[in-house]
Homo-oligomer: A and B are copies of this chain.
């Protein structure tokens, strides 16, 4: 069955989105020519849309010659006259393809498009490239990010609020400068250990707050000395927990008393199914949320481009304290990226990445369903990102478990290794990466 992610907040009507997805899949060969498409009713059910919507999409595809309707038989993909070379892999991948996947994500980087864009910039925008941008970054890029967030994340952000940084660590440095060295920062337990490591290197004091099934423990947070908390409410690493709406409001309530929330939306582009939850930044009316994101996962970590969105009070503080600083990212790459986003290349690239991740997730799930070791295992957190959590029903020790799973050529590590205060008992739980 075709699985597409419909964005109900997009400016494009849903039937156009479905039309676009199918058209692209036919052009790229994911839907082979001559193949039967699902019935209107079953696709509608699957995507959670009305039959009329699918009918409109199919009608448009018929009109443009992408599919044909055979009476009493259904809809079939047409043989396209100028079928391009099949570049994108089918959703199903082999074990060999899966285990060689480590390099694949980087191979997906759009080198050709990027080379073309950067050459254009170097030819056409020489004077602009030599101009010092403000400390916040190149305006065109901030504008492109604001537009992207509007259509992709349904966020209303002014380009003026966006600060470009050289990777997330640089943003942490800015936060340290903005909040001062007396701040105590709460981080998630378990979590990305690098976050606390970096704040620690910058001389900030950290407190570790447990993550529950619906997000960080707000009571523990209230009992701590923290005046700022760094969380990933959309998709927590490694547990995959999505912070509930109730908890989001409790957190905002906590922050309203002069504190701050850093909302780390690091893998929002990788949502594989279901509708994305709006970021906390969008429901915050008290100006206490700092939104943070990066192009490390959606493009490449080696280009070092990240950004954060500051609420107005911190924005004025930024302008005052950072007036002697320059934006640390090359104007060459800022302008090229702006161009890439504006021209639609970035969204196409994300769709490609997401399809790739989904195919790897599906392969993993198939493996899980067939393998004895995974019997009664509980898989969670697989609706987004590039990893999931598997809780095993087993008497094996964590180390034995890890060895067995790694022998299956899966990339995995122990959940307990992601704790700062590492539990002494086994959790029988692994983080498995697609």
Contact = CB atoms under 8 A, between A and B. Distances in A.
A378 interface: no
A332 B305 CA distance: 12
A118 interface: yes
Interface centre among A301, A302, A325 (most CB of B within 10 A): A302
Contacts of A129: 109, 300, 302
A122 B130 contact: no
Interface in A32-72: none
Contacts of A126: 106-107, 109, 111
Given A111-B123, A330-B304, A201 B325 contact: yes
A119 B130 contact: no
A98 interface: no
Interface centre among A300, A330, A331, A333 (most CB of B within 10 A): A330
A24 interface: no
A116 to B, nearest CB: 9
Interface string A103-143: 10011010100110011001100110111110000000000
B333 A332 contact: yes
Contacts of A330: 302-305, 329-330, 333
B331 A302 contact: yes
B197 A324 contact: yes
Interface in A304-338: 304-305, 321-333
A122 B115 CA distance: 7
B329 A166 contact: yes
A169 interface: yes
Contacts of A103: 127, 130
A413 B322 CA distance: 24
Contacts of A181: 181, 203
A201 B324 contact: yes
Given A127-B106, A301-B326, A122 B111 contact: yes
A177 to B, nearest CB: 6
Contacts of A363: none
B328 A170 contact: yes
Contact of A169 (B119, B180, B328): B328
Contacts of A132: 301-302
Contact of A325 (B177, B198, B322): B198
A130 B115 contact: no
Interface in A276-322: 300-305, 321-322
